Amino acid sequence: MSIESFYEYPAGVALSRFLEGLRLGRLIASKCGTCNHMIIPPRAYCLKCYRPIKEYQTIEEKGLIVTYTRSFINIEGEPVNPPVTWVFVKFDGVDGGLLHILDPSINPQTGMRVRPVFREQRSGSILDIKWFTAA
Amino acid sequence: MGKKVAIVGAGMTYFRSMLPMTPQEMIYEAARKSLDDCGLEFKDIDAVVSGSAPDAFDGYHHKGLVGVEPSDGVGKPYSRIYVGGGTGVGVAVAGWWHVASGAFKKVLVVAWEKMSHPYPHAQPLFKTIFDPIIEQPLGPNLIWIFALEMRRYMEAHKLSKELIARVAVKNKGNALDHPYAQLGAKITVEDVLKSPVLVWPVHRLDISPSSDGAVALVFASEEEAKKITDTPVWIDGVGACLDSQFWTNRDLAYPYYVYLAAQQAYKMAGIANPLKEIDVFEPYDPFTYKELHHLDALLGKPGLAPKLLAEGQLERDGDYPTCPSGGLLGVGNPIAAAGLMKVAELYWQLSGRAGKRQVPNACVGVAQAWGDLMQVAQVVVCRS
């Protein structure tokens, strides 16, 4: 059998600010007005003191590779050629981080400084970032 | 804390890539065997606690209901527990609540999985576990989360692929002695390293298989257990803990939430030094590195498990026998059933019923499973 079903998800209060930031070519984090804790992707509530978030800030877009991998298969489990390199990037002074594809011309290393490459045409999606490349 | 709870019987089906049985037939077989093991009948059971992984694997919702009839749950309190891959040990934790609370005297705990239902493979179903706004558009597959974590773990402790591959060699070797195992085999480190790289550094032989299978245990109160058997295995401690839904907020090198769950269980069981006081370890091993990652947290010492592995201490005849069953890598990984298989292994080991797998003088054991979006820890400590 097969199931065909369609879903529509709202990005919500906090993530809408993040996606709007991407459309403008910026990385937006949430900042807690009570304890100053910052996190990306942003949340509508602080994960340290659990007060509501009212403030969102553009952060420095250069981050560090925490870990990386190279996938030889796609979501269907079928081989992909060339393989895709994935990186997890953290940003100075900001909790959380972003997962994305790495520029295929870059050889990844833990601790390498990278920055997002934004597409010219942007729509408010995680795909507005083409990939991360060496900063 | 609570009333004493004993495991008095266990049973399981073969773990296979495709069993020609319905979920109901598998559940019945495991439940029937667990009752036969302790001389009880279905009518003796007061309540049923069941567990199975995502509905998507079967393609029908509320799939917990398939367990009602074959476990004789009709007319009884019947519940389905679900915490992703952690379900198999989570269902044992929930079974413990039922008896420890004093609400029920004899409880059937059953877990099953049919991973052969989705065609051609379950892999694409996993994409729906990722955040729909910021992760799904990138086309994630399940393995790369593990690959990112494995890479981080390897860097944190300067571990080689050669060392980690020894987990697969050990567990598949142990599974040769498990009568229900799917992938018992004598393999070498080279076999693991030469198997295809799926998502670097994860090779095919670093991963447990997808499987069909079911496992059932019978839990009883102290008074009932003493009537039923001379060899009860007591559940002395349980623990459960979660980390953030967002894996970008976790410490990928050390599963601290597993440590916290283990500490809950140890406190309840009066265990101060797990390394000295525990005889058998059954950490969750869906991937080779995960056995070590989890054992680090069960021991409360980041980086210790790989050292013990290198010394040969995790072998069945070592000082810290780990996955003597053969684990998920060897016995198989029918998700919820795989976790409960680990609790069943404690029952068999601690009651002296483990046959060729028997660890001599095993009195205390710990089993752990892990799941949801890779951030659930469920822990059970047993004592004979």
Instruction: State the pLDDT at residue B118.
Output: 84
Check residue B352 and report its DSSP letter. T
Of residues B107, B24, B21, the one with CA closest to residue B65: B24
Residue B378 in this model has a pLDDT that exceeds 90: yes
Q: Domain A12-134 - what CATH class? A: mainly beta
Domain count, chain B: 1
Convert B32-43 into a string of H (helix), E (strand) and C (coil).
HHHHHHHCCCHH
Terminal-residue alpha carbon distance, chain B: 18
Instruction: State the pLDDT at residue A115.
Output: 98
Residues of A in contact with B252 (CB under 8 A): 66-67, 88
Instruction: State the pLDDT at residue B372.
Output: 79
CATH number, position B253: 3.40.47.10
DSSP H or E run through B15? none
Instruction: State the pLDDT at residue B245.
Output: 81
The per-residue pLDDT for range B58-102, each reduced to its tens digit, is: 888 888 999 999 999 999 999 999 998 999 999 999 999 999 999
Residue A20: burial class (beta carbons within 10 Å; 0-12, 13-18, 19+): middle
Instruction: Please list, residue by residue across B138-174, b when 16 or more beta carbons sit within 10 angstroms of its beta carbon and e when fewer do.
Output: bbbbbbbbbbbbbbbbbebbebebebbbbbbbbbbbb
Average pLDDT over residues B231-250: 91
The per-residue pLDDT for range B184-223, each reduced to its tens digit, is: 999 999 999 999 999 999 999 999 999 999 999 999 999 9
Q: How many CB atoms lie within 10 A of CB B130?
A: 21
Q: Which value, to the nearest 10 degrees, does the dihedral of the CA atoms of residues A79, A80, A81, A82 take?
A: -130
Tell me whether residue B259 is in a domain. Answer: yes
A75–B196 C-beta distance less than 8 A: no
Tell me whether residue B176 is in a domain. Answer: no
Residues B23 and B210 sit within 8 Å (Cβ to Cβ): no
Domain locations in chain A? 12-134
Which of B124, B244, B252 comes nearest A75 by C-beta? B124
Tell me whether residue B181 is in a domain. Answer: no
Report the sign of the C-alpha dihedral through residues A11, A12, A18, A21, in that order: positive
Angstrom distances, CA of residue A42 to CA of A57, A64, A66:
9, 18, 19
Spatial separation of the C-alpha atoms in residues B124 and A58, rounded to whole Å: 35
Residues B365 and B349 sit within 8 Å (Cβ to Cβ): yes
Instruction: State the pLDDT at residue B284.
Output: 98
B199–A72 C-beta distance less than 8 A: yes
Instruction: State the pLDDT at residue A1.
Output: 66
What beta strand segments (E) does chain A contain? 28-31, 38-40, 55-58, 63-73, 79-91, 94-101, 113-118, 129-134
Instruction: State the pLDDT at residue A65.
Output: 97
What mean pLDDT, rounded, does chain B reach?
A: 95
User: B295 to chain A, minimum CA–CA distance in Å?
Assistant: 22
Spatial separation of the C-alpha atoms in residues A27 and A61, rounded to whole Å: 6
B138–A99 C-beta distance less than 8 A: yes
Name residues 53-72 of chain B within 8 A of A (Cβ): 59
Q: How many CA atoms lie within 13 A of B150 on its CB side?
A: 26
- The residue among B263 and A12 whose pLDDT is bigger is B263
B198–A71 C-beta distance less than 8 A: yes
Instruction: Please list, residue by residue across B357-371, b when 16 or more beta carbons sit within 10 angstroms of its beta carbon and e when fewer do.
Output: bebeebebbbbbbbb
Cβ contacts of A8 within 8 Å, gap of 6 or more: none
Q: What is Dmax (Cα atoms) for chain B? A: 58
The per-residue pLDDT for range B132-177, each reduced to its tens digit, is: 898 888 888 888 889 999 999 999 999 999 999 999 999 999 999 9
The per-residue pLDDT for range B300-353, each reduced to its tens digit, is: 999 999 999 999 999 999 999 999 999 999 999 999 999 999 999 999 999 999
Instruction: State the pLDDT at residue B144.
Output: 84
Q: Encoding tokens for residue B147?
A: 């690959």
The per-residue pLDDT for range B348-374, each reduced to its tens digit, is: 999 999 999 999 999 999 999 998 778
Q: How many CB atoms lie within 10 A of CB A104?
A: 12
B198–A99 C-beta distance less than 8 A: no
Instruction: State the pLDDT at residue B122.
Output: 78
Residue B383 in this model has a pLDDT that exceeds 90: yes
Spatial separation of the C-alpha atoms in residues B169 and B155, rounded to whole Å: 22
A100–B121 C-beta distance less than 8 A: no
Q: Is A77 on the interface with B (CB under 8 A)?
A: yes
The residue of chain B with its CA nearest to that of A129 is: B138
Of residues B125, B98, B120, the one with CA closest to residue B109: B98
Instruction: State the pLDDT at residue B129.
Output: 81
The per-residue pLDDT for range B98-140, each reduced to its tens digit, is: 999 999 999 999 999 998 888 877 777 777 788 889 888 888 8
Q: How many CA atoms lie within 13 A of B97 on its CB side?
A: 11
Residues of B in contact with A75 (CB under 8 A): 123-124, 127, 139-141
Q: Encoding tokens for residue A29?
A: 């984090």
What beta strand segments (E) does chain B contain? 5-12, 47-51, 78-81, 106-114, 197-200, 202-203, 212-221, 233-242, 280-282, 364-371, 376-383
Q: Encoding tokens for residue B355?
A: 């046959």
Tell me the percentage of chain B whose pLDDT exceeds 70: 100
Grouping H, G, I as helix, E, B as strand and the rest as coil, residue B66 is helix
Residues of B in contact with A71 (CB under 8 A): 141, 143-144, 147, 198-200
Spatial separation of the C-alpha atoms in residues B72 and B253, rounded to whole Å: 44
Q: How many CB atoms lie within 10 A of CB B185?
A: 17
User: A62 to chain B, minimum CA–CA distance in Å?
Assistant: 17
Q: Encoding tokens for residue B196?
A: 């295809």
Average pLDDT over residues B3-12: 98
Instruction: State the pLDDT at residue B265.
Output: 98
Q: Is A15 on the interface with B (CB under 8 A)?
A: yes
User: A34 to chain B, minimum CA–CA distance in Å?
Assistant: 20
pLDDT tens sequence for chain A (135 residues): 676 777 788 899 999 999 999 999 999 999 999 999 999 999 999 988 999 999 999 999 999 999 999 999 887 788 988 999 999 999 999 999 999 999 999 999 999 999 999 999 999 999 999 999 999
**A-interface mutation test, from B61, B136, B144, B149, most A Cβ less than 10 A away:** B144
